[in-house]
């Protein structure tokens, strides 16, 4: 085994040339790189194509029996901003018995506790993930602290503490799955270490044979069925069944697919993962040459929680799942939108944002959450086509009737929101006839300042923050500073009187008419921000 582990390069901020410290029982694949002050403990697995670079922020700690799977990247920006369990300072701390799975990014300053699972392509940056947390696929965790034992669903974007505090607890089935992954990777570590030892390989084969006999599928004939669907689909099925959801299928030929005219497939009554996956594979066999999608149904709320294509006409089935997008069945080469329950203005806004290279997201909130600005994310939208995005917006509206729905425009380079626009109210009204309804204009989160003063929603937001005991602040930035996130403070507001705060905000807007201005909500006890809301943009 050849280890690609080298000293950190000499730089203006670090001249120590620190080298990795790797326990002799750990395994680092020859195609991986470990650079700088990285402390790898006993029984760790560093899988192929993994990069652990302590060449800027240092040091890193990787705890006992933890596995970093294929394609994982670990890097850090600054020196020692994380307090490890040993009370020393680190740029990145990863605890013991933790799985950092395929293509995940842990970017310091970051802390990941013991017995955690970080799913495929998920990102943890400037955040703390407590012990026993499970983060599923394609999630973003940034600038927050996730309490111990919490579950983060696939595609979640957790970027404020309110979201983190409201996460559900991990269930027993989730923990069993995480422990199963640890066991598999421990076996891989052992296998890699003795790959050139014939006697060692024979011993592992014997153990594997025994394991297969004791873990055969309970289909009545003792045979283990080869799985055509990827492990990611099995994970998705397991999670839905564990949450009490039902599994369904739909299929369509290419003509029906273009018009989203899906037909129901065979009903799946199974409540066990192996039986449900077998039923899904039977459905694939029944409809070759067609699109087939997996449906997750909440029987209590009588609504769909998941729609994911698992087979395409070329016969390919899902192997590497992305966070599922809803109703992505539009023409492959079209950016036009046919009939839509959204008004032309919203569609044009979507087209404008995508043309500028921005991404689109959606959030929903019931009336109680709306009053406290505690929005929840709908399914992520990965597409950059207008038709796909509009369908995803409509799917969010259909999934959350009787709630507020807003569209988010995201500048991924600057990591800033450029638009927050309300597109549905609890009475079910959405934008139509080419113009946003007057109430929707008043409730757009990119709040424009009218000649008569602040609009109604900004005033409501300020009153809500003051009623909760928070303080109000304002910041401004010209376009150049906005792109780099270099905001400057307006005159501090010491008052808790709404009228005085309104006056202070209006003064800030008048002083900086051609700049971005944002409203800040501050929890003085916890010394953290609870809100950052843009209230003015340059013309």
In a domain, 105, yes or no: yes
Q: What is the pLDDT of residue 438?
A: 34
Residue 196: pLDDT above 80? Answer: no
Assess whether 434 and 474 both reside in one domain. no
Lowest average pLDDT, out of 103-117, 272-286, 455-469, 495-509, goes to 455-469
> Mean per-residue pLDDT for 21-26?
89
Q: How far apart are CA 115 and CA 27, in angstroms?
A: 19
Residue 444: pLDDT above 70? Answer: no
- Distance (Å) of CA 8 to CA 3, 11, 15: 15, 9, 8
Assess whether 56 and 137 both reside in one domain. yes
In a domain, 180, yes or no: no
In a domain, 101, yes or no: yes
Residue 8: pLDDT above 70? Answer: no
Q: Nearest Cα to 386, choosing from 437, 333, 445?
A: 333
In a domain, 327, yes or no: no
What DSSP letter does each residue of 315-374 carry, written as one string?
A: --B-SSPPSPPS---S-TT-----S-SS-HHHHHHHHHHHHTT-EEEEEEE-HHHHHTT-
Q: What is the pLDDT of residue 516?
A: 87
Assess whether 473 and 412 both reside in one domain. no
Which two tokens mark 188? 């891989």
Domain boundary among 392, 409, 443: 443
High-pLDDT (> 70) share of the chain, %: 78
Q: How far apart are CA 504 and CA 498, in angstroms?
A: 10
Which two tokens mark 207? 């153990």
In a domain, 224, yes or no: no
Enzyme catalytic residues: 56
Residue 190: pLDDT above 70? Answer: no
What CATH number should be reported for the domain holding residue 16?
2.160.10.10
Domain that holds residue 389: 344-443
Q: What is the pLDDT of residue 239?
A: 73
Q: What is the pLDDT of residue 40?
A: 94
Assess whether 415 and 387 both reside in one domain. yes
Measured on CA atoms in the order 311, 315, 321, 323, is the torsion positive or negative?
negative
Assess whether 277 and 396 both reside in one domain. no
Assess whether 416 and 438 both reside in one domain. yes
In a domain, 195, yes or no: no
Measured on CA atoms in the order 256, 257, 261, 262, is the torsion positive or negative?
positive
How do residues 374-406 score in pLDDT, each as one tens digit?
Answer: 788 888 888 878 878 888 888 888 888 888 888
In a domain, 187, yes or no: no
Q: What is the pLDDT of residue 451?
A: 33
How do residues 280-309 score in pLDDT, each as one tens digit?
Answer: 888 888 888 888 888 888 887 777 777 788
Lowest average pLDDT, out of 103-112, 426-435, 530-539, goes to 426-435
High-pLDDT (> 90) share of the chain, %: 19
Please count the residues of the chain.
539
Q: What is the pLDDT of residue 11?
A: 63
> Mean per-residue pLDDT for 142-171?
90
> Mean per-residue pLDDT for 312-326?
52
191 pLDDT band, cuts 50/70/90, is low
Q: What is the pLDDT of residue 412?
A: 81
Please compute, for residue 442, the number of CA atoms within 13 A of its CA located in the half-sphere on the CB side. 11
> Total structural domains in the chain?
4
Q: What is the pLDDT of residue 9?
A: 66
> Mean per-residue pLDDT for 348-360?
79
Higher pLDDT, residue 2 or 160: 160
What DSSP letter does each residue of 58-119 carry, written as one string?
A: --EEE-TT-EE-TT-EEEESSSS-EE-TTS-EESEEE-SS-EE-TT-EEEEEEEE-TT-EE-
Cβ atoms of 299 and 248 within 8 Å: the answer is: no
Domain boundary among 289, 311, 333: 311
In a domain, 316, yes or no: no
Domain boundary among 174, 197, 223: 174
- Distance (Å) of CA 252 to CA 99, 249, 282: 38, 11, 16
How do residues 242-263 score in pLDDT, each as one tens digit?
Answer: 777 888 898 888 877 776 678 8
Assess whether 266 and 163 both reside in one domain. no
Please state whether the peptide bond connecting residue 109 to the residue before it is cis, i.e. omega within 30 degrees of 0.
yes
Assess whether 478 and 403 both reside in one domain. no
Q: What is the pLDDT of residue 402?
A: 86
Assess whether 390 and 251 both reside in one domain. no
Assess whether 485 and 435 both reside in one domain. no
Assess whether 368 and 493 both reside in one domain. no
Q: Nearest Cα to 168, choosing from 244, 58, 79, 228?
A: 244
What DSSP letter does each residue of 109-170 carry, written as one string?
A: EEEE-TT-EE-TT-EEEEEEE-TT-EE-TT-EEES-EEPTTBEE-TT-EE-SHHHHHTPPBP
Q: Nearest Cα to 375, choosing from 361, 388, 386?
A: 361
Assess whether 121 and 161 both reside in one domain. yes
> Mean per-residue pLDDT for 158-186?
81
Q: How far apart are CA 407 and CA 410, in angstroms?
A: 10
What CATH number should be reported for the domain holding residue 484?
3.30.190.10
How do residues 515-535 score in pLDDT, each as one tens digit?
Answer: 988 888 888 887 778 788 888
How do residues 368-381 score in pLDDT, each as one tens digit?
Answer: 888 777 788 888 88
Lowest average pLDDT, out of 21-35, 70-84, 200-214, 400-414, goes to 200-214
Cβ atoms of 501 and 493 within 8 Å: the answer is: yes
């Amino acid at each position: 085994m050849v280890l690609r582990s080298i000293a950190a390069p000499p730089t203006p901020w670090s001249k120590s040339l620190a080298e990795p410290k790797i326990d002799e029982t750990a395994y680092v694949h020859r195609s991986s790189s470990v650079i700088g002050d990285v402390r790898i403990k006993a029984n760790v697995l560093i899988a192929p194509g993994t990069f652990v670079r302590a060449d800027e922020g240092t040091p890193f700690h990787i705890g006992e029996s933890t596995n970093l799977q294929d394609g994982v990247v670990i890097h850090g920006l600054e020196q020692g901003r994380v307090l490890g369990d040993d009370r020393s300072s680190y740029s990145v701390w990863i605890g013991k018995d933790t799985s950092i799975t395929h293509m995940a990014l842990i970017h310091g300053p970051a802390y990941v506790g013991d017995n955690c699972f970080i799913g495929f392509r998920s990102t943890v940056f400037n955040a703390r993930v407590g012990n026993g947390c499970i983060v599923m696929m394609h999630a973003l965790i940034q600038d927050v602290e996730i309490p111990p034992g919490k579950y983060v669903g696939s595609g979640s974007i957790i970027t404020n503490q309110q979201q983190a505090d409201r996460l559900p607890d991990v269930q027993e089935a989730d923990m069993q799955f995480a422990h199963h992954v640890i066991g598999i990777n421990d076996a891989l570590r052992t296998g890699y270490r003795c790959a050139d030892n014939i006697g060692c390989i024979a011993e592992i084969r014997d153990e594997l044979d025994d394991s297969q006999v004791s873990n055969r599928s309970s289909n009545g004939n003792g045979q283990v069925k080869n799985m055509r669907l990827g492990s990611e689909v099995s994970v998705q099925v397991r999670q839905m069944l564990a949450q009490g959801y039902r599994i369904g299928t739909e299929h369509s030929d290419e003509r029906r697919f273009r018009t989203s005219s899906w037909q129901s497939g065979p009903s799946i009554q199974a409540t066990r993962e192996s039986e449900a996956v077998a039923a899904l594979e039977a459905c694939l066999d029944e409809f070759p040459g067609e699109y087939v999608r997996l449906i997750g149904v909440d029987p209590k709320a009588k609504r769909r929680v998941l729609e994911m294509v698992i087979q395409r006409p070329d016969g390919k089935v899902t192997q590497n799942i992305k966070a599922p997008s809803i109703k992505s069945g539009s023409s492959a080469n079209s950016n036009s939108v046919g009939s839509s329950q959204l008004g032309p203005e919203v569609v044009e806004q979507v087209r404008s944002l995508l043309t500028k290279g921005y991404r689109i997201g959606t959030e929903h909130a019931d009336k109680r959450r709306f009053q406290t600005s505690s929005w929840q994310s709908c399914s992520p939208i990965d597409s950059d086509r207008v038709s796909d995005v509009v369908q995803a917006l409509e799917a969010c509206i259909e999934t959350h009737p009787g709630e507020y729905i807003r569209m988010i425009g995201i500048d991924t380079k600057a990591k800033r929101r450029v638009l927050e626009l309300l597109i549905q109210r609890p009475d079910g009204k959405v934008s139509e006839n080419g113009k946003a309804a007057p109430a929707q204009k008043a409730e757009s989160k990119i709040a424009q300042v009218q000649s008569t003063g602040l609009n109604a929603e900004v005033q409501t937001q300020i009153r809500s923050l003051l009623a909760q005991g928070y303080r109000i602040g304002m910041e401004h930035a010209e376009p150049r500073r906005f792109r780099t996130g270099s905001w400057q403070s307006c005159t501090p507001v010491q008052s808790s009187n709404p009228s005085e705060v309104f006056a202070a905000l209006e003064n800030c807007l008048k002083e900086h008419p051609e700049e971005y201005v944002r409203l800040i909500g501050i929890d003085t006890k916890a010394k953290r921000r609870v809100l950052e809301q843009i209230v003015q943009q340059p013309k």
